[in-house]
Amino acid sequence: MAERKRETLVIIGSGPAGWTAALYAARANLDPLVYEGEPIGTVLPGGQLMNTTEIENYPGFPEQLTGPELMQRMKDQAVHHGARVLTENVQSIDLGAYPFAIRPTYSEEVEALAVIIATGAQARWLDVPNEERLAQGGGGVSACAVCDAALPIYRNKVLAVVGGGDTAMEEALYCTKFADEVVVIHRRDEFRASKVMADRVLSHPKIRVLWNTKVVEVLGYEAIEGVRIENTVTGERSELELGGMFVAIGHTPATQFLDGQLPLTEHGYIKLPHAWRTATDVPGVFAAGDVMDDYYRQAITAAGTGCMAALEAERWLAHQGLGESPLLETAEAPVDQAASSR
């Protein structure tokens, strides 16, 4: 087998976490290599913000900007300071030997002295007609009410939240701050959410629930005008006029390529051994952004953990006596993670 090129730090994934990690690592002279991902359906390099048309809550931008604009600015800044970028996915990584072997989609395998995983989590969609098109085009379909419900296009309208878990309850309650009415659409006859969250929704004067109901089509061309719904018991179909729809049926973290080499939570997110840290159970491997955060899921918190991961990776490499050059001739197996981080 041909000798692999050795990298000091490889960052897998883009988005706010990946680009922030790349920026900090580049400024620390770690010469990071970023695998930013590749476009596959609704999954785009840059993460979930690539499907967000307007952003008002990212600090430092009083003017309104789009998700793609913010991601491009972050990428440009990281590249300006020396980050290198490949637009492809990582197919697999071997964390059982050191240095870590990384196999991307198209280019040659590389080995890395440290790795930051920032592959994010993708919102689950209903997979019904018009949903994807309107979500990508800013037509009033979103997977994050906390991100978008305050935008002018959603204010003083009837909004729908699809789902029955705690996230759906939180989204519905948040929407009541801006909507005339919030309609929760749930395919079963009771919520999966905790009792306290369900009670808050059921007792709220602005919220009504459509039980045993599923969305089968989103209506509207340039913007959502309503949804076609179906009763899951009788099969009867009808239409519901709406000014916006938020899909809250969960997220799928992009951890499949790890092939079980890192501990995951029950929902598939990378499980970190220490709170407020980004180091994983494997020394030299760090995780940042939504791939390890199923609670906040905001651009600013993802960026924060990207910073944390880069700083931890830099300090870890220095503690190992590595990182001064991406072309180091030797690299011993890393010492115990807990000891190296003290």
Catalytic center residues: 144, 147-148
Do the Cβ atoms of 21 and 314 come closer than 8 Å? no
Q: Is 46 left (phi over 0), alpha (psi -120 to 50) or beta?
A: left
- Determine contact, residues 59/113, Cβ cutoff 8 Å: no
Q: Where in 232-304 does DSSP place strands (E)? A: 237-241, 244-247, 251-253, 285-287
Element (H, E) at 210: strand 207-210
Report the sign of the C-alpha dihedral through residues 120, 126, 129, 135, in that order.
negative
Tokens 């220490």: give the residue.
274
- Decide: 278 and 288 in contact? Cβ < 8 Å: yes
Rounded CA separation 126/220 (Å): 16
Tokens at 209, concatenated:
């629930």
User: Cα dist. 217→47, 146, 227 in Å?
Assistant: 25, 24, 6
